[in-house]
Amino acid sequence: MLQPKKSKYRKEFRGKMRGVATRGNTVAFGDYGLKATTCGWVSARQLEAARKKITYSTKRTGKFWLRVFPHKPVSSKPVGVKMGSGKGDIDRYVVVVKPGMIIYEVGGVTKEVAMSALRKAGHKLSVRTTIVEK
């Protein structure tokens, strides 16, 4: 699963998800992209599931790009632990996705194959998405 090799601080605050994406909001590498229309956290597991679906749907022809990376650690406490006694251990890593952000890009395949692959990948993510062309 995707996670940072090292980070400056082990645990982070939850943060805010205001506004729209000002960077990473255009198709830069491929011909078709999967664009987020809502904000939210997308976990590393969801990104991997969507990646597998894209590579399976395109039959590994063409090329695909992952435009985001899960840098944000999310902590959680075990079930049955009482309140207090500090912050929990790191449970997973997520990427903060804002509206307009391109998550995946696909190139070198036909329009029908790309649309089908990106539509299937969008179902695996926890944010609403739309497919855009270059």
- Give 41-53 pLDDT, tens digit per residue: 999 999 999 999 9
Estimate to the nearest angstrom the gap between the alpha carbon of 44 and the chain centroid. Answer: 7
Q: How confident is the model at residue 1 (pLDDT cuts 50, 70, 90)?
A: confident
Domain ranges of the chain: 32-75+89-133
Query: Tell me, what's the pLDDT at 9?
Result: 95
Q: Which of 31, 26, 40, 14 is nearest to 99 (CA)?
A: 40
Domain 32-75+89-133 fold is Aldehyde Oxidoreductase; domain 3 (3.90.1170)
Q: What does DSSP say about strands 40-43 and 129-133: parallel, antiparallel, or unpaired?
A: unpaired
Which structure tokens are listed for 104? 């995946």
